[in-house]
Amino acid sequence: METKISHSLIKAVSGEFDLESVYKLTLNRMNIRAIENLEGCVNLQELNLSNNEIERIQGLEKLQSLRKITLTSNKISSLQGLDKCAALEHIFVQDNMIDNISEIANVSALKNLKSLYLRNIDGSQKNPVCDHPSYRSSIVRQLPHISILDGERLKHSNTLYADASSSQTTSTAQVQIPESKSWLSGFTWEEDKDDVDKLLAPIQAKFDAVMSDSKKLNAAAVALLSHYQ
């Protein structure tokens, strides 16, 4: 028998009398066919509607605090409707009927999105779109801000390198490298040994300072790279 989402059902399941006090709601395995009557749950942060009969994502416009939605094991073929939830960070839609890679565009505007699951990390419960030849690259290109895809942490170091290379190529023509000056400018080897020592002392000090700065920059670069791995 089909179950309809009603205010009384929400209150009974959540244990809250006031819909505005509902922060987490689980309505899984209830044979629900439509997402409805959630507009009063304005502070809802987590919504679980897995293992139902839902075909269309709708009725989420008022859920501006929603951060996590689980729609695993339904009959959903489009991600349209999730774009209304600007605060969304985690989307679980494994085991549905999403088969078009263009559906990713429906969540590309969600700048807070951190993870998207269209299948499990072991490849199970996958949507048909997961078999698309450019599945992973298309998602990474359209959602460059997410850090987890299907349970796998994404590494954006290649993207950062590409951006840096592009920036370097663009600005090379504008950069003028000053002519280097010899450390021994004005020096002749006919001078006394004492004069040589006096000349090399400040040069050695400058060299030591440069080496120290280089080590600090190298440590900073290693720390930055490890942050993006």
Domain ranges in the chain? 7-153, 188-229
How much is the pTM? 0.69
pLDDT tens-place values along the chain, 229 residues long: 899 999 999 999 999 999 999 999 999 999 999 999 999 999 999 999 999 999 999 999 999 999 999 999 999 999 999 999 999 999 999 999 999 999 999 999 999 999 999 999 999 999 999 999 999 999 999 999 999 999 999 986 344 434 434 444 444 344 455 555 554 555 454 545 555 566 666 777 777 777 777 777 777 776 666 655 5
Query: CA-based diameter of the chain, in Å?
Result: 104
- For 116-146, give the DSSP string: EESS-TTS-S--GGGGSTTHHHHHHHH-TT-
Domain 7-153 sits in CATH 3.80.10.10: yes
